[in-house]
């Protein structure tokens, strides 16, 4: 399954906690990454990523609904999301072994 870096961060952060993950914790992605995204655009991008993960069946969103739209406050992983996260972060990274020098 193809996921963006933000979606991978959301899955990894949600997998660390046993309960629901707050939206404010997920917004810290931009502080850590140093991405040049305007602060006003960050909540919208985060919302779209969460909604796409919900559509794929990897997450459950908790929040409130108005007649116009949903406001997602917290998220948690589904069983499918837990399996995908373990598969995603359980893969071993390949090393450039041909570049090592022997002393």
Does the pLDDT at position 93 exceed 80? no
Check: CB of residue 16 under 8 Å from CB of residue 26.
no
Distance CA 79, CA 73 (A): 20
Distance CA 48, CA 36 (A): 18
> Comparing 33 with 50, which gets the higher pLDDT?
50
pLDDT at 15: 86
pLDDT at 64: 92
Domains for the chain: give ranges and CATH numbers.
5-89 (1.10.10.10)
- Mean pLDDT on 24-36: 81
Give the closest residue to 35 by CA, choosing from 5, 3, 15, 74. 5
3-state SS, one letter per residue, for 57-83: CCEEEEEEECCCCEEEEEEEECHHHHH
Distance CA 56, CA 54 (A): 5
What are the helix and strand counts (H, E) for the chain? 5, 3
pLDDT at 103: 55
Check: CB of residue 59 under 8 Å from CB of residue 6.
no
Predicted structure pTM score: 0.78
Distance CA 90, CA 85 (A): 8
């Amino acid at each position: 399954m193809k996921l963006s870096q933000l979606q991978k961060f959301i899955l990894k952060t949600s997998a660390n906690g046993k309960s629901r993950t707050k939206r404010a914790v997920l917004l810290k992605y931009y502080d850590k990454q140093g991405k040049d995204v305007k602060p006003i655009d960050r909540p919208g991008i985060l919302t779209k990523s969460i909604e796409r993960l919900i559509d794929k069946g990897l997450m459950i969103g908790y929040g409130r609904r108005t007649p116009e739209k949903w406001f997602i406050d917290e998220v948690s992983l589904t069983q499918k999301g837990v399996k995908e996260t373990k598969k995603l972060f359980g893969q071993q990274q390949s090393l450039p072994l041909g570049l090592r020098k022997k002393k």
